[in-house]
Amino acid sequence: MTPDVRPLVAGNWKMNGTRDALSQIKAIAEGVSGPLSQKVEALICPPATLLYVSTALATDSPLSIGAQDCHQAVSGAHTGDISADMIADCFGTYVIVGHSERRTDHGETDALVRAKAEAAFAADLTAIICIGETAEERQAEQTLQVLKRQLLESVPDAASAENTVIAYEPVWAIGTGLTPTAEDIKIAHQYMRDDLVARFGGEGKKIRILYGGSVKPSNAAELMAIDNVDGALVGGASLKSADFLAIYSAYETLLA
Ligand code: PEP
């Protein structure tokens, strides 16, 4: 955790969820409506097909709704893509950019991720910018250099605590059940914090840095307690409301 920073527990549904899954959004919206919501923010990023109806379902709750990607342009001939303006038009308030699956499946570069984050800012969305090393980079002991490069090249100069969240997701930890040790996460998050403060000053102290990669109810409390871990980006375990709410509720004890 970081002093005076409101943690964010964010769920990334990826390409999962049809209308049947809206009952999970409803249950999560209800489940995060208690007093903990004053201290901890909750967000679900469903597939784009469920975005508009999800924001409608979450209207009277503290649950935020976001998207999983946006195009860097405002509009135009980009078949299959959605713009940041379209997300805002559906009342989404966040967009994930640079997830490793986009970087791998679609060849997205740091420069493109940065352009997407800038498009998000222009639409008044908060960008969750994902970074993280591959297994090979970790084995070669390049984790911190990779994080430095990705922060420099993926995060726009206009980043602030309001419009930007960083998600540190070691690629090898996503969907594998593996996580770095608490000490490794502590070192990586401290490194990113120092880098953000060096570049953005006071804003860099407040930009939330999430950990992502095999977060589940059984490890959430330990992971969320680490210095400079300001919440989680959760994939698989966000699909079931009970699991997502159990992760969110880890903060009941941590902030008691
Ligand atoms: C993710 O894809 O952002 C993620 C962290 O997935 P999982 O929690 O399933 O590892």
pLDDT at 163: 98
Tokens for 151, please give them.
């922060």
What are the structural domain ranges in the chain? 8-254
How close is the Cα of 201 to the center of ligand 1, in Å? 30
Binning pLDDT at 50, 70 and 90, where does residue 124 land? very high
Q: What is the mean pLDDT of residues 3-10?
A: 97
- Ligand 1 atom at shortest distance from the alpha carbon of 167: 3
The string of pLDDT tens digits covering residues 131-186 is 999 999 999 999 999 999 999 999 999 999 999 999 999 999 999 999 999 999 99
pLDDT at 254: 96
Q: What is the mean pLDDT of residues 212-221?
A: 98
Average pLDDT, the chain: 98
Instruction: Provide CATH code, domain 8-254.
Output: 3.20.20.70
Sign of CA dihedral 131, 134, 138, 142: negative
The string of pLDDT tens digits covering residues 98-118 is 999 999 999 999 999 999 999
Contact 215 CB / ligand 1 (< 6 Å) = yes
What separation in angstroms does the CA of 82 have from each of 6, 116, 123, 199? 29, 11, 12, 31
Contact 243 CB / ligand 1 (< 6 Å) = no
Query: Of the listed 99, 101, 108, 189, which one is catalytic?
Result: 99
Query: Of the listed 108, 118, 133, 169, which one is catalytic?
Result: 169
Question: Is 169 a residue of the active site?
Answer: yes
